[in-house]
């Protein structure tokens, strides 16, 4: 059984990092809401950059939700318990993905 207090502290740090990252990306996207350049070549580059930022923001928000759910599971005493089968989640899996909510068998 992992040290849930240490995991909780790690997840709180991770949550703060993710929140800051998402906020920076949101601010950058708001600044970029201006019309695209008149030059077609620049438009393509600008759009590719926007697409990349949206993808990074989406991934950050998804990971943030996973971290939040893991913190909730810790609070309920359900950390390291598979949300599908109720069995234990292996310590190696939790070390790699501290917000994992399924055992390796259910994740496959």
CATH number of the domain where residue 25 is located: 1.20.120.910
In a domain, 45, yes or no: yes
In a domain, 9, yes or no: yes
In a domain, 107, yes or no: no
Reported as a single tens digit per residue, the pLDDT across 23-39 is: 999 988 887 666 656 66
- Please give the pLDDT value at position 74: 96
- Please give the pLDDT value at position 42: 72
Give the residue ranges of the chain where pLDDT is below 50. Answer: none
- Please give the pLDDT value at position 6: 94
SS3 letters across the chain: CCCHHHHHHHHHHHHHHHHHHHHHHHHHHHHCCCCCCCCHHHHHHHHHHHHHHHHHHHHHHHHHHHHHHHHHHHHHCCCCECCCCCCECCHHHHHHCCCCCCCHHHHC
- Please give the pLDDT value at position 37: 62
Please count the structural domains in the chain. 1
- Please give the pLDDT value at position 48: 86
| pTM attached to this predicted model | 0.81
**Residue 57 lies in domain:** 4-78
In a domain, 66, yes or no: yes
In a domain, 30, yes or no: yes
In a domain, 84, yes or no: no
């Amino acid at each position: 059984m992992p040290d849930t207090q240490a995991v909780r502290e790690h997840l709180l740090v991770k949550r703060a990092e993710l929140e800051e990252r998402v906020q920076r990306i949101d601010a950058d996207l708001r600044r970029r809401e201006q019309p695209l350049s008149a030059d077609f070549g620049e438009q393509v580059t600008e759009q590719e950059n926007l697409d990349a930022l949206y993808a990074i923001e989406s991934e950050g928000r998804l990971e943030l939700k996973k971290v939040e759910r893991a913190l909730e599971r810790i609070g309920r005493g359900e950390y390291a318990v598979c949300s599908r089968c109720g069995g234990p989640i292996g310590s190696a899996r939790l070390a790699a993905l501290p917000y994992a909510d399924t055992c390796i068998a259910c994740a496959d």
